[in-house]
């Protein structure tokens, strides 16, 4: 039985419309506000509990910040009695671990709750809608795929700390995100024949198969051995015999020196130049490289081949369409995050990079690339 793999998104508990007073700030019973709408502290606590159950850490509970007394005790119990002669792990180490776990969960949940509110707000502004019936069908389809019987589904809910309303809200936000993305890229797949032809002319090399050559080679450590190998070949000795006797190339020495399908630019520069200047069947003079001295002979030559415009027309159309869609999404995501971050304020102790009064994000290059290439959608740890 496969488990339901769902993202942590937004609590299904009713979010009261606690509007921030004209003087600004976050209400005392909230952790943040998005465009004036509060994210209640009990909503945050609920999803902290769910996130802890999904984190894979033991115990699967939210660390009791800021003292971490229970968390430290649990870690000490899990670690057990130190082996004889071993120093016990100091409480400060466990406390540091608890703090790191809590802060990671806090940032994850805050970002998810905030980003989910952003998507809801963006959908409202763009008149993007998802019906209750659509959301219920999405959940029903997932349940059918993931659980053989309802008892298994109920067990999953209990273990993950969620209610069905939570899952429905998750599917709703995910579907809204998809619809927003579809709206952003709509029409970007329209590509004319003239645009395809222009792209083809600018990128002809992408649709060409380069010339390749099959060769036999002997690689020696010094020029003297290369000359001996060449003389033996010129006297009629077989490539198999000469390669075994003289070659230091483990890849080819037991294969009669065979190298197949060598394209220009794949070999060391001096060898590459000599190979593609040689005539077919010509036994070369020793060629010095950084690896040693080569003696080679070119066998089969497969000519370069250029695909025609008609052959690659469909591929180019798809390429252009994809590039346009990605560019549109990148532009939208940049604008989306900037606009909604300015509408988001977080309470002290609950600040994340998604808050206008929070720390600046310092994503990794991989995270930056993902952020640029995808539409806005929360990406939490999936349920286990």
Q: Any idea what the CATH number is for the domain that residue 233 is in?
A: 3.10.50.40
**Same domain membership, residue 243 and residue 285:** yes
Per the model's pLDDT, the better-predicted residue between 375 and 46 turns out to be 46
For the CA atoms of 297, 302, 303, 304, the dihedral, rounded to the nearest 10 degrees, stands at -110
Q: Is 218 inside any structural domain?
A: yes
- 334 and 248 in one domain? no
Within-domain flag for 138: yes
pTM for this structure?
A: 0.70
Query: Same domain, yes or no, for 135 and 220?
Result: no
User: Measured between alpha carbons, how far is 59 from 55 in angstroms, rounded to an integer?
Assistant: 10
| Same domain, residue pair 283 and 325 | no
How far, in Å, CA of 230 to CA of 227, rounded? 5
CA distance 83 to 91: 17
Which sign does the torsion angle of CA 352, 358, 364, 365 carry?
positive
Share of the chain above pLDDT 90, in %: 82
Residues 165 and 291 in one domain: no
pLDDT at residue 56, as a whole number: 83
pLDDT tens per residue across span 133-169? 999 999 999 999 999 999 999 999 999 999 999 999 9
The pLDDT score that the predictor gives to residue 373 is: 39
- Does any domain span residue 160? yes
Element (H, E) at 160: helix 150-160
Domain end (from 303, 330, 346): 303
Residue 297 phi/psi, 5-degree rounding, is -145, 130
pLDDT in tens, 41-83: 999 999 999 999 988 887 889 999 999 999 999 999 999 988 8
Q: Which domain, by its residues, includes 244?
A: 211-303
Q: 276-300: per-residue pLDDT in tens?
A: 999 999 999 999 999 999 999 999 9
Take residue 233 and report the two structure tokens written for it. Answer: 């070949």
pLDDT tens digits for range 107-122: 999 999 999 999 999 9
Count of structural domains within the chain? 2
Residue 122: closest CA among 38, 175, 168, 180: 180
Do you find a cis peptide bond into 19, omega within 30 degrees of 0?
no
- Inter-CA distances, 168 with 4, 41, 115, 237, Å: 13, 21, 17, 77
Domain-embedded: residue 195? no
Query: Of 249, 273, 303, which closes a domain?
Result: 303
CB 9 within 8 A of CB 111: no
Give the pLDDT band (50/70/90) at residue 363. low
Q: Say whether both 59 and 102 belong to one domain.
A: yes
Q: Which has the closest alpha carbon to 78: 65, 92, 60, 96? A: 60
Per the CB < 8 A criterion, the answer to whether 207 and 306 are in contact is yes
3 within a domain of the structure (yes/no) = no
Three-state SS for 358? coil
- The H helix count followed by the E strand count for the chain is 12, 9
Residues 6+ apart with CB under 8 A from 26: 20, 32, 33, 38, 345, 346, 347
Q: Is residue 75 part of a domain?
A: yes
At residue 361 the predicted structure's pLDDT band, cuts being 50, 70 and 90, is confident
Position 378 in a domain? no
Phi first, then psi: give them for residue 45, nearest 5 degrees. Answer: -60, -40
DSSP 206: G
Residue 147 lies in a domain: yes
């Amino acid at each position: 039985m496969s488990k339901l793999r769902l993202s942590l998104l937004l609590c299904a508990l009713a979010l009261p419309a606690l509007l921030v007073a004209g003087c600004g700030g976050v209400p005392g019973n909230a952790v943040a506000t998005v465009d004036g709408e509060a994210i209640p502290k009990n909503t945050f606590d609920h999803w902290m509990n769910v996130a802890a159950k999904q984190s894979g850490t033991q115990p699967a509970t939210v660390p009791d910040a800021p003292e971490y007394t229970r968390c430290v005790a649990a870690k000490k119990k899990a670690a057990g009695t130190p082996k004889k002669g071993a120093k016990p792990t100091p409480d400060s180490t466990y406390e540091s671990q608890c703090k790191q776990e809590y802060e990671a969960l806090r940032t994850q949940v805050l970002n998810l709750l905030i980003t989910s509110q952003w998507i809801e707000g963006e959908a409202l502004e763009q008149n993007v809608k998802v019906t209750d019936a659509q959301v219920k069908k999405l959940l029903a389809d997932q349940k059918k795929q993931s659980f053989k019987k309802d008892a298994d589904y109920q067990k999953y809910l209990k273990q993950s700390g969620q209610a069905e309303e939570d899952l429905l809200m998750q599917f709703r936000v995910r579907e809204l995100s998809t619809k927003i993305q579809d709206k952003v890229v709509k029409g970007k797949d329209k590509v004319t024949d003239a645009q395809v032809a222009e792209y083809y002319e600018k990128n002809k090399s992408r649709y060409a198969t380069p010339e390749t050559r099959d060769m036999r080679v002997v690689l020696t450590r010094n020029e003297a051995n290369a000359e001996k190998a060449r003389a033996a070949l010129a006297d009629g000795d077989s490539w198999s015999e000469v390669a075994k006797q003289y070659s230091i190339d483990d890849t080819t020495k037991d294969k009669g020196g065979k190298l197949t399908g060598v394209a220009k630019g794949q070999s060391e520069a001096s060898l590459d130049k000599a190979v593609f200047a040689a005539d077919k069947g010509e036994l070369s003079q020793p060629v010095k490289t950084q690896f040693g001295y080569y003696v080679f002979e070119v066998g089969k030559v497969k000519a370069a081949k250029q695909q025609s415009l008609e052959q690659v027309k469909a591929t180019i159309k798809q390429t252009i369409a994809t590039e346009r869609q990605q560019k549109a999404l990148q532009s939208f995501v940049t604008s989306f995050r900037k606009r909604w971050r300015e509408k988001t304020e977080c309470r002290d102790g609950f600040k994340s990079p998604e808050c206008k009064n929070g720390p600046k994000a310092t994503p990794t290059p991989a995270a930056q690339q993902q952020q640029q290439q995808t539409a806005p959608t929360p990406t939490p740890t999936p349920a286990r």
